Amino acid sequence: MSGMAARLQGELNAARKAQEKARVLLLGTVLSEIKNREIELGRDLTDEDVVEVIRKAIKRRRESTEMYTKAGRTELAAVESAEAQALEVWLPAAPSDDEVRAAVREAIAGGATAIGAVMGKVMPRFKGRLDGSVINRIAREELGTPA
């Protein structure tokens, strides 16, 4: 078990002792997703793998928030949004837009003129630390390509 997964397990145990039902459910679900990913890959997960699982969990909750809001179910949207915020605490600090913009400009200077080529060069540098949509937005701005 990675160090990050072990810390999540410790948080789950603490939440159980404090009888925080919502937090127990959230952490239990994430740890279950981590275990499933471990089984899928057939190996112990690294902290990067755990961050990836957490990012996907956050993305799912944001999508649910959006859908619940459109359907007029504000109470469910609030729950999903709160869960996403609670999980964001576990993510490493995201790089600044300026740092991403510099990497995009470097990729363009290196000969990448299409959005796919720029994304291919920049994504590995920020893997696990930043959502691809942010990189895509900045790359489109720098290339002058409409969204």
Look up the pTM and report it.
Answer: 0.72
Query: What would the CATH number be for the domain defined by 97-143?
Result: 1.10.10
Distance, in Å, from the CA atom of 72 to the CA atom of 75, rounded to the nearest integer, reads: 9
| pLDDT > 90 in the chain, percent | 49
For 23-70, the pLDDT digits (tens) are 999 999 999 999 999 999 999 988 888 988 998 999 999 999 999 999
| pLDDT > 70 in the chain, percent | 97
Pair 100, 75: CB distance under 8 Å: no
Average pLDDT, the chain: 88
**Left (φ > 0), alpha (ψ -120 to 50) or beta: where does 13 sit?**
alpha
In the predicted structure, residue 147 carries a pLDDT above the cut 60: no
Mean pLDDT of the region 133-140? 84
Distance, in Å, from the CA atom of 8 to the CA atom of 40, rounded to the nearest integer, reads: 20
Of residues 37 and 143, which shows the higher confidence score?
Answer: 37
Q: Which residue has the tokens 């089984």?
A: 39
Mean pLDDT of the region 77-99? 88
Under CATH, what is the fold of the domain 3-88?
Answer: Hypothetical Protein Yqey; Chain: A; domain1 (1.10.1510)
Report pLDDT for 82: 94
Report pLDDT for 140: 85
Distance, in Å, from the CA atom of 109 to the CA atom of 87, rounded to the nearest integer, reads: 36
Confirm whether 3-88 and 97-143 share one CATH topology. no
**Left (φ > 0), alpha (ψ -120 to 50) or beta: where does 85 sit?**
alpha
Domain boundaries, the chain: 3-88, 97-143
